[in-house]
Amino acid sequence: METEKVEKYFGKYNLQNPESEQYFSSVVAIAMRDYKLDVEDISHACGCSKPTVERWAKGINAPYHAIRHLVLECIVELIEKKPKQ
């Protein structure tokens, strides 16, 4: 995935170490809080359960490193499809 797209939406938050679980959970939490994505939308787009997305947002766990970029891509696509408020 193009890191520019992730940076476009999340760069202003000064998140550190894009490879870390903390970065991943912060992106999920910010997407839900600031971009008003709900757990159901993210879980449906990513093909996982709602409790899984909730655990990601809380930093309890994260998907395998090899597929995190796919989840981030889903989140960015949801943000881009969401009507501007």
Per-residue pLDDT tens for 61-78?
A: 999 989 999 999 999 999
Q: What is the pLDDT of residues 5-42, one digit of tens each?
A: 888 999 999 898 888 999 999 999 999 999 999 999 99
Could you please report the per-residue DSSP string of the chain?
--HHHHHHHHGGGT---TTSHHHHHHHHHHHHHTS---HHHHHHHHTS-HHHHHHHHHTS----HHHHHHHHHHHHHHHHHSPP-
